[in-house]
Amino acid sequence: MKVSKNLIVFLSELRKSIKLLGISLLVMTGCIFALSSGLISLFQQHLDEQLYFFSVAGPFLAHVKVSFFGALYVLMPLLTYVFWKAMGKPFKVTGKRLFWFVATTCLLFYAGTIFCFLVTLPFGVQFLLSFQSEDMRAVISIGRFVSFITLFILAFGVIFELPVFMIFSAQVGIFTRRTFEKNRRFAVLGIAILSALLTPTPDIVNMALMGGPLYLLYEAGILLIRIFRLEKAQDSAALVAGEAKITEGNQK
């Protein structure tokens, strides 16, 4: 019952900002469209790949995809603020706590995308293309190339936020550090499944490139919860609640 109530509060708060987010994404996509050629050239030069298109609308759609990706990237602080404001509403997370959740989420998102762009993506592309030969050369569609790059970068940005959600769940009393520690094997299984779903290609290398950092982030979340001693705060809260129930029972 409490979960349903919290979900309703979250969705109600989120609905208030849907119109603002939609207009912001539309306007920002239109603004970045003028720079989309430069962004595609940047991706192409960074990965040193020749691109082709196989339909009349191919190049245009590729520019639209890059523009939308750029809009999401630029507006991430706004998107993060709206999300955490709605998420924090049922749990009374406001003020400085809300600010730190928003700031940390943005920081980790951009760190994840930069790490992907500079480290993971070039290695992954080089590995996948290393199987071509003189008789079998890669002809890369611009549409598929843009989809691969943008989805991979966004996925890394999202998974880098795992410690924030772990800390949030511990701080509001959903899970504890011990819960995360006891369920490591299930976390590994979940990470493997998530990596298979989020990576554009289902090969083991790309899954490992995403799953490895994701598991390290999982352990980092446990470490941060231990450092900030959030589980002790939860235990204290539970003790106070238990004492309150006992007192109430005695009064009756």
- CB 190, CB 233: distance < 8 Å: no
Domain ranges of the chain: 1-146, 161-237
For residue 201, the model assigns a pLDDT of 62
For residue 197, the model assigns a pLDDT of 79
| Dist. CA 32–CA 64, nearest whole Å | 9
For residue 177, the model assigns a pLDDT of 87
- CB 211, CB 192: distance < 8 Å: yes
The pTM (predicted TM-score) of the whole model is 0.82
For residue 246, the model assigns a pLDDT of 42
| Dist. CA 247–CA 108, nearest whole Å | 44
Nearest to 85 by CA among 25, 21, 22, 28: 21
| Dist. CA 133–CA 228, nearest whole Å | 53
For residue 235, the model assigns a pLDDT of 46
- CB 218, CB 162: distance < 8 Å: yes
Q: pLDDT means per 10 residues in the chain (252 residues)?
A: 75 88 95 92 84 87 94 95 90 86 94 90 80 79 88 89 90 86 91 79 74 91 84 46 46 50
Count of residues in the chain: 252
